[in-house]
Each structure stands twice: as structure tokens, then as C-alpha cells.
Structure 1
């Protein structure tokens, strides 16, 4: 990555910089990502936790995913913007909500996860898709 990617929450209380290329870019269709995002899915990039520097304070909601595994969901305590997720099945990675990036042009989701929970009107024809997490 030539220069860090930056982003933040809606109100600007939390800002971050990413210093590494993402390991993955995906759309997650699990029910909890739908609820947290208020949309049909959550578009996220997975990066090494050490590659993320954060300014400002965020709050964390301790959740369990559809798999039953722990999911830590970080959000701005001022405006409520969802920012990051950490999942037990991917230690060392942190998942950044793509919509919080200042520039999203470089990111194209390569696959769809948890499609068994997707909204019926979402068309995944031709997409790489997994009913749960890929193994």
C-alpha cells in the first residue's frame, strides 16, 4: 500500500488509518450484520489489527454471530456509526466497515458470506458465495 487509507465515523469523533492492504473484501449477509448496518449486508475489509491506528474513543458491543462465536462490534459512542468488528474465527484480523472509508474506490468485495441469511431480493448470480464462513 503506497499511502495509508483513512476513514472515520459520521461525526468525526473517531478517525483511523490503515497501513496495509486488506487480506479480503467481502459482503456479510448474517442477520447481525444486517441489523447492525440497517441494510441487506455489511461490506467489510479484513486487515491485520496491527495495521490499524485509531484516534478517538469508540464503544464495543459484545455479540455472538450466527456461528455462536464471539463478535466484538466497535462503534462511535457519539453518533453510533458502526466501524470495526473482531471475530473469534479470525484472530489477528479486524474488519473495517468499507462505508466508513474516506475513499472506497480501491475496494471490490470478492465474495459473499452467510448467504443462507441473505434477503430474498438480493441477487448473487455469478458471485462467489458461501452459506456460512468459508472453510
Structure 2
């Protein structure tokens, strides 16, 4: 079984993922842009039962552009965004790819919410969807 590790900037929160992710995506919704402070958020969807977290995460209840609930989890000390639980994908924990210790095993398979993407972002040959794929 493959193991992946990661954590926040200050090291207060660490996590271990056992097994392979269900999905790797880039979200361009306006909420992910604001939350990440960037043009998008690169996320890895993992079944919740495959993730062990040490440290206390802070939570912010949000709703995405879809209107569905999103629980954003982050480090209350350094502010690093770490995880999201999204109503439209129950049972998955969306891990912010930039918090992984090694991202070499991951590549996005889709771009979501491209109707909100920054004009200068090129999605290349990766499939792109204006909202969530059906």
C-alpha cells in the first residue's frame, strides 16, 4: 500500500494518507481562489478513512459556487489551508496538494469551475469543465 504524508507550514498539523487518491483536480471557483490566495486550488480527493491527521485543525463553513456546503479546514497557527469536505462528494476529503511532502505522484485529471478561471490560466490538454462535471 502506498503512503503519502504532508502537513502545514509550521508543522503543527501532519497527516498520512494510506492508499491511492480517488481523484486529482484543479478547482478555479472564486471561493477556492480567495481561500488559496491564488488563481486556483489543486486538490487530491481521498476517502476519509484513508487519512490520519495529527494536530488540531480549524474549520470554516462555506458554500461553494454550486451553493452546496464546503467545510474548509486549515491550521489555526500558520493559516495553511489543508483539507476540504464538500457536500457534492460525501466520504472524500479533499487534500490541498501543495501541503503534500512529495507531489511527484500526482497530476490533475480535470479542471473544474473554469467559468471562473483567470483569463491568463491555460488548462492545456487536461479536461476542463465550466462547473462540476455531471
User: What range is the shorter-chain TM-score in?
Assistant: over 0.9
Please report how far the alpha carbon of residue 97 of structure 1 lies from its aligned counterpart in structure 2 after TM superposition: 0.3
Please report how far the alpha carbon of residue 64 of structure 1 lies from its aligned counterpart in structure 2 after TM superposition: 0.4
Which segments of 5 or more consecutive residues in structure 2 lack a partner in the other structure? none
Aligned residue number for residue 89 of structure 1? 88
Please report how far the alpha carbon of residue 125 of structure 1 lies from its aligned counterpart in structure 2 after TM superposition: 3.8
Kept after mapping to 2: 8 A contact 1:60/1:72: yes
Which segments of 5 or more consecutive residues in structure 1 lack a partner in the other structure? none
Q: CA RMSD in A?
A: 0.8
Q: Does 1:9 align with 2:8?
A: yes
Aligned residue number for residue 99 of structure 1? 98
Aligned residue number for residue 134 of structure 1? 133
Aligned residues: 134
CA distance in 2, matches of 1:96, 1:123: 23
Which portions of structure 1, spanning 4 or more consecutive aligned residues, are displaced by more than 4 angstroms?
none
Please report how far the alpha carbon of residue 123 of structure 1 lies from its aligned counterpart in structure 2 after TM superposition: 1.4
Please report how far the alpha carbon of residue 20 of structure 1 lies from its aligned counterpart in structure 2 after TM superposition: 1.8
Kept after mapping to 1: 8 A contact 2:69/2:87: yes
CA distance in 1, matches of 2:19, 2:46: 7
CA distance in 2, matches of 1:124, 1:72: 26
Please report how far the alpha carbon of residue 67 of structure 1 lies from its aligned counterpart in structure 2 after TM superposition: 0.5
Kept after mapping to 2: 8 A contact 1:114/1:130: yes
Q: TM-score, normalised by structure 2?
A: 0.98
Q: TM-score, normalised by structure 1?
A: 0.97
CA distance in 1, matches of 2:124, 2:55: 40
